Chain A
Amino acid sequence: DAGITQSPRHKVTETGTPVTLRCHQTENHRYMYWYRQDPGHGLRLIHYSYGVKDTDKGEVSDGYSVSRSKTEDFLLTLESATSSQTSVYFCAISEAGVPNEQFFGPGTRLTVL
């Protein structure tokens, strides 16, 4: 199994509070991704990174920011959480980007009340 961990695994927070999710990899893969999974939508890309300090937006990036200061860590921040951001968040890594396969972390279930 690819060495990907996400923290926290579960979080409940209130509307308007900032939230940071962490993805950590031990595979030294260049690409890292954040997705959200919602019923009826499958997985949708939020942001991705193609190297340290190199990031770009995905399909549903509004309300989210990311940072990557080290190869192994990719942070997703909700600056001011809203109920619409209640979701399961998955981190993924890829050695060389699409179309190479992506390997996913265990997910973080976030509930915004």
Chain B
Amino acid sequence: AQKVTQAQTEISVVEKEDVTLDCVYETRDTTYYLFWYKQPPSGELVFLIRRNSFDEQNEISGRYSWNFQKSTSSFNFTITASQVVDSAVYFCALSEASNFGNEKLTFGTGTRLTIIP
């Protein structure tokens, strides 16, 4: 069974600090996909990134970067030089290849990030 754990329920950092949000997943499949979504205070969910299990290259997009490590089943998200606009709840999610056709996307419980000005 697939499972996503975001152990950090809430994190607060001062603006301009770097912050890493942890995501640990469990799966028995060798083919799977990992996602990050952002939910700002306005409530909508915004897609950030999708990564498949065969691509372990880290990805950087502006101040955002993602570190995928299959050895530790982790897909961590780092925000560099944080800004107040980064304040949001961030969700990690997993989809297994064996579930393709079943549309099962398992979300973690989210990490609430607060950036203090």
The interface of chain A, by Cβ under 8 A from chain B, is 31, 33, 40-45, 48, 50, 56, 58-59, 88, 90, 92, 97-107
Q: Are B44 and A107 in contact (CB under 8 A)?
A: yes
Q: Are A107 and B43 in contact (CB under 8 A)?
A: yes
Interface size class for chain B? 20 to 34
Cα A98 to Cα B33 in complex, Å, equals 9
Q: Are B103 and A42 in contact (CB under 8 A)?
A: no
Total CB contacts across the A-B interface at under 8 A: 60
The interface of chain B, by Cβ under 8 A from chain A, is 4, 33, 35, 37, 43-47, 50, 52, 91, 93, 95, 99-105, 107-110
A78 to chain B, nearest CB (A): 20
Chain A positions within 8 Å of B101 at CB level: 97
Cα A14 to Cα B53 in complex, Å, equals 46
Q: Are B44 and A45 in contact (CB under 8 A)?
A: no
Q: Are A42 and B109 in contact (CB under 8 A)?
A: yes
Q: Are B50 and A45 in contact (CB under 8 A)?
A: no
Q: Are A31 and B109 in contact (CB under 8 A)?
A: no
B31 to chain A, nearest CB (A): 9
Q: Are B105 and A102 in contact (CB under 8 A)?
A: yes
Closest 7 CB pairs of A and B: A42-B107, A99-B33, A104-B45, A43-B107, A101-B47, A42-B109, A98-B95
